[in-house]
Structure 1
Amino acid sequence: MRTLVTAPTDDRVWSDSSLSWLVRPGAEVIEERSGGSRIGASDVAAVRATCDLFAAGGDARGAQQALGQAVRLFEKRLPEDDPQWIRYFDDSELASELSHTFGDLRCGNDVIASARQYLASGGGSVRTTFFVIMKLAGGHLDLGEVEEACRTVRQALDLGSQLRSARCAEYVREFRSRATEFVGNAAYRDLAEGAVGHRLWGY
């Protein structure tokens, strides 16, 4: 099974996070309970969900450590033992989740890596793919790659023309808000001019 991210190994990260007690004990209990052999996707999802708590608190190191725990559990899971309701949580779904968490943390390289992994897998629904492509655009923006960010947003807008979702529009608004410092950039001007009239751009 391919590894989606490199799991952090520095346990000292935990001492720096006020939320560490939520994640490390939880992951350890899961592994102890299962003997390391009967871990399911629901266990992975439960640990990964705590990453959002770290991200919301601006704790990048804690979030990355939690992601590492989730990935390690993911690699030990037995998909055939998962109940039907959680079987959607596969490599592609985890990559999508990672792109969102890394996006919230403004970790550009990690956003790009996880988003590309999701897209290379064939992706999921059109709506989820739209979200991931917008996160990919944000990752390029994090790195100052304005032209690539704008090209990626065009791809998302083309895909989003078939979507009617307030959340999709929110992702576009977030990008526009973050890109205000680049309004004088030729690539951004071209994007803005070309997007005039697009339902999601002007939502």
Structure 2
Amino acid sequence: MLYAYRFEHRPVLTQAKIGRWLGLTQSQVSRLERAAESVHDLNKLDYWARVLHIPERHLWFRLSSDDVREAEEGDDVRRRQLFKVAGWTAAASGFGWFGSGHASASPARSIGATDVATIREMTRTFRRLDNRFGGGHARGTVSNYLASDVVPMLREARSTDAIRSELYGAVAELNQLAGWMAYDVGDAETGSKHLRQALRLCQEIDNDGLAAEMLAGMSHQAAFFRSGSIAVDLAQAAHSDANRSGLHALVSESAVMAAHGFALQGDSRSCLDALAESERALSAADRQDAPEWLGYFDAAYLAAKFAHCFRDLGQPVDAERYARRSLEMNEGYDRGRLFNMSLLASALADQGQVEESCSTASEAVTMAGSVRSVRTVAYLADVGRRLNRYRSAEPVKALYAQMSAAAIPVP
């Protein structure tokens, strides 16, 4: 209940804030959200529900009439509005739009391994397109496939428990991809919704590894929007699931996501500790055992995250070193290469290496012509801002002209 409550708010509420309202520590809220067993203490449940103003019709128990101390007025109003507008329920029926609409009049059909394999193969194809050309090229196709072909399987189909588990995992992966595509084209709200739906599917089948991947993705998005505390909260939740999964690469990913959140908060010591853990975990990872959906996470990807952390800590020399390493990446990740070149250009700009920064950014702008991604525009616009103090230099003038022609904002 607490997890769903936090993530229905915009911006997402931190565990620390929920804890202050309920008289708990952040660690206690985190443990409650991760607990395998639900809380059965009616006194606690009653108190929490009344503090958070959860309507009784959404609960499995009757609320008492005792008064509780009101929380901060602004937050209190926002919580009331949330339930009025969103109609959120702690005992939600299904998975958001998965459970929407009316039941089909057609008889349920049996789902088998071939159906699951088809979803996975479609996801594999869409993922390759996304990595090369950005989320804008195939997002509509993915959304239509989800709505018309995949969601009906969840609502109407019959299957064995084993196939059901495989089906939920496959749909979670496809939902994750749809979320990243939405995020890539600037639709953060839809992207977040898809990732939450994917997470619920993972939790339904107790897939700790895939759940950790969804939480890490949410942390990544929070960091992109400069929400350091939320990025850390989500990364730490991912870290717990990753440890249970036994996948060292996931432990590495969740640790580096937490590091980026700490960097955004200016917490250098916590950031460096998390980076060290991430590096150790990746060294211990066995690439042969990594699931296909984690195949992108390698040394080059980790180097890019290190570069982000050092740049946000104000250490551009280290940021440059790792940004260069991040370009030692596999083929087929054109958008990622563009991101990493922009990252290198920004680290060079912060050091006053204007000419190389401009030439690197210029190459990235050229690549952007074949990639439909709002994030690429954001990365390149950030480079432009960092070069603003050198705007009278000829290389910067030329770069700004090229960016303007490509509809990339310049200072």
Please tell me the TM-score bracket, short chain as reference.
0.7 to 0.9
Pair 1:53–1:196, CA change in 2 (3 A)? closer
TM-score, length of structure 2 as denominator length: 0.39
1:128 CA drift (Å): 0.9
Deviates more, 1:87-96 or 1:161-170: 87-96
- The number of aligned residues is 175
Q: Does 1:198 align with 2:396?
A: no
Q: Does 1:157 align with 2:368?
A: no
Pair 1:124–1:201, CA change in 2 (3 A)? farther
Asked if the contact 1:39–1:76 (Cα under 8 Å) also holds between the matched residues in 2, the reply is no
| Candidates 378, 382, 385, aligned match of 1:170 | 378
| Candidates 181, 184, 188, aligned match of 2:392 | 184
SS of match in other structure, 1:89 = coil
1:167 CA drift (Å): 1.3
Asked if the contact 2:341–2:360 (Cα under 8 Å) also holds between the matched residues in 1, the reply is yes
Asked if the contact 2:329–2:337 (Cα under 8 Å) also holds between the matched residues in 1, the reply is no
Partner of 2:350: 142
1:99-127 Cα shifts (integer Å, max 9, x gaps)? 22223223222222222112133465111
Structure 1 spans left out of the alignment, 5+ residues: 1-18
Partner of 1:82: 290
Amino acid at match of 1:97: K
Asked if the contact 2:350–2:386 (Cα under 8 Å) also holds between the matched residues in 1, the reply is no
1:196 CA drift (Å): 3.6
Q: Distance in 1 between matches of 2:371 and 2:348?
A: 24
1:88-109 Cα shifts (integer Å, max 9, x gaps)? 2112221222222223223222
Amino acid at match of 1:130: L
Asked if the contact 1:40–1:79 (Cα under 8 Å) also holds between the matched residues in 2, the reply is no
Deviates more, 1:116-125 or 1:61-70: 116-125
**Where does 1:1-203 land on structure 2 (aligned, <5 Å)?**
40-122=248-330, 124-201=332-409
Q: Percent identity?
A: 26
Asked if the contact 1:154–1:191 (Cα under 8 Å) also holds between the matched residues in 2, the reply is yes
Deviates more, 1:61-70 or 1:100-109: 100-109
Structure 2 spans left out of the alignment, 5+ residues: 1-231
RMSD across aligned positions (CA): 2.8
1:71-101 Cα shifts (integer Å, max 9, x gaps)? 0111112222222322321122212222222
Amino acid at match of 2:285: R
TM-score, length of structure 1 as denominator length: 0.74
Pair 1:180–1:128, CA change in 2 (3 A)? same
Q: Distance in 2 between matches of 1:141 and 1:62?
A: 26
Partner of 1:12: none
